[in-house]
Copies of this chain bind each other. A is one copy, B any other.
Amino acid sequence: MAVASREVHLIERPEGLPVATQFEIVETTIDDPAEGEFLIRNQYMSVDPAMRPRLSNGQQPLHKPLGAGTIGVVTASRHSAFAEGDVVQHGLGFREYVVSDGRGVSRLDAAGFPPTLYMHVLGPTGFTAWGGMLITGELKDGENVFVSAAAGAVGSVAAQIARIKGCYVIGSAGSSEKCEWLENELSIDVAINYKEGVLRKNLKAAATQGIDVYFENVGGEHLDAALPRMNVGGRIPVCGMISAYNNFGARSTGVTTLSNMVYQRITMRGFVVTDFEEKREKFLDDMRGWVADGQMKYRETVFEGIEQAADALIGLFTGENIGKALVKLD
């Protein structure tokens, strides 16, 4: 009893900002699972900036569903390890249904938390923020911290980890609504709207004690502004450079202040979440504790229906979303 399913395909590689016509919703039919397989009905799909480079660099095939973190429920199974009703997590979105043999699929034990949290604070974006801040960034209690894109899925967790560690925290975001959320809900010290005034000057005014750790999500103008403010021995964990992703694939606005790295002995280091895999249990211990006692807050921007998936992705780069962007399927 095959099921009808819809998928979001990439049909043309974007050079700059992705536009809706580069994506297509394709109707397809999913066969019943064979022996050793099971059928997943997807419920939530993650929308993530890291998807962007893959659209241009060839890692995302054309005319195939976009790869994305996904939570679903098993609706039929001929696999010994997965049963009907299991909630599972995998990377096989953007599609409504998928048949799997179990590779890359894990059962989700939500441990009393809403399952979607495993797509952000308790999932990859939270783990990215935790590892980038505490391992790559070697954050110490009470330091001076700057987080760019601080209202984003990773940035909002990174900024709150710093706040929990007793740091002075400056965050940048692209709207006054986001800045209010950062200061009033997440209780960070100063939120800077980078679309108002001159970022370099506003950052200088806020960073009265300099910056020990700059958690880098944006690149370009943000990095240019942060480098002259770094303290001796400062660290810049580089999580992403979202400003570059739509600029001919991987080029940002030119950064001209890198010579500050020499005298300040700054360390800038790129990382990806898989670098921290062996620390996953420690991450989950920390983060479940912070979420449970209300220290770690989060917000979801939920798009309803697979028809909105491309818009949700585009919204990452136009600054529309607050917190974690998700697509909810019916």
Residues from chain B with a CB closer than 8 A to the CB of A267 are 267-270
Are B270 and A266 in touch, CB under 8 angstroms? Answer: yes
At the interface, yes or no: A289 with Cβ under 8 Å from chain B? no
Are B259 and A252 in touch, CB under 8 angstroms? Answer: yes
Contact flags A273-308 to B (C-beta < 8 A → 1, else 0): 001000000000000000000000000000000000
Q: How far is the CA of A240 from the CA of B245 in the complex (A)?
A: 28
Instruction: Give, as a whole number of angstroms, the nearest-CB distance from A67 to chain B.
Output: 15
Query: Which of B228, B261, B272 contacts A263 (CB under 8 A)?
Result: B272
Chain B residue nearest in CB terms to A235: B269
Are A252 and B261 in touch, CB under 8 angstroms? Answer: no
At the interface, yes or no: A20 with Cβ under 8 Å from chain B? no
Query: Which of B219, B251, B262 contacts A240 (CB under 8 A)?
Result: B262
Residues from chain B with a CB closer than 8 A to the CB of A250 are 228, 257, 259-260
Chain B residue nearest in CB terms to A270: B261
Contact flags A155-175 to B (C-beta < 8 A → 1, else 0): 000000000000000000000
Q: How many copies does the complex hold?
A: 2
Are A261 and B269 in touch, CB under 8 angstroms? Answer: yes
At the interface, yes or no: A151 with Cβ under 8 Å from chain B? no
Contact flags A114-152 to B (C-beta < 8 A → 1, else 0): 000000000000000000000000000000000000000
Instruction: Give, as a whole number of angstroms, the nearest-CB distance from A233 to chain B.
Output: 10
At the interface, yes or no: A223 with Cβ under 8 Å from chain B? yes
At the interface, yes or no: A255 with Cβ under 8 Å from chain B? yes
Known A-B contacts A238-B261, A239-B262; the reply to A256 vs B269 at CB < 8 A is no
Q: How far is the CA of A260 from the CA of B241 in the complex (A)?
A: 9
Q: How far is the CA of A250 from the CA of B264 in the complex (A)?
A: 13
Query: Which of B245, B253, B264 contacts A254 (CB under 8 A)?
Result: B253
Are B262 and A241 in touch, CB under 8 angstroms? Answer: yes
Are B254 and A223 in touch, CB under 8 angstroms? Answer: no
Residues from chain B with a CB closer than 8 A to the CB of A264 are 270
Are A223 and B258 in touch, CB under 8 angstroms? Answer: yes
Query: Which of B228, B241, B263, B265 contacts A259 (CB under 8 A)?
Result: B241
At the interface, yes or no: A271 with Cβ under 8 Å from chain B? yes
At the interface, yes or no: A244 with Cβ under 8 Å from chain B? yes
Residues from chain B with a CB closer than 8 A to the CB of A256 are 244, 247, 251-255
14 new A-B contacts, CB < 8 A, other than A244-B259, A250-B260, A254-B255, are A53-B263, A219-B258, A223-B258, A238-B262, A241-B259, A244-B258, A250-B259, A255-B255, A265-B269, A265-B270, A265-B271, A265-B272, A265-B275, A267-B268
25 A-B pairs with CB atoms under 8 Å apart are A219-B258, A219-B259, A228-B250, A238-B261, A239-B262, A244-B259, A251-B256, A251-B259, A252-B259, A253-B254, A253-B256, A254-B254, A255-B255, A255-B258, A262-B270, A262-B272, A263-B272, A264-B270, A265-B269, A265-B271, A265-B272, A266-B269, A266-B270, A267-B269, A268-B269
- Please list the 10 inter-chain residue pairs (A to B) with the smallest Cβ-Cβ separation, ordered nearest first: A254-B254, A261-B270, A241-B259, A251-B256, A244-B259, A262-B270, A267-B269, A268-B268, A255-B255, A238-B261
Residues on A lying within 8 angstroms of B by beta carbon are: 53, 219, 223, 228, 238-241, 244-245, 247, 250-272, 275
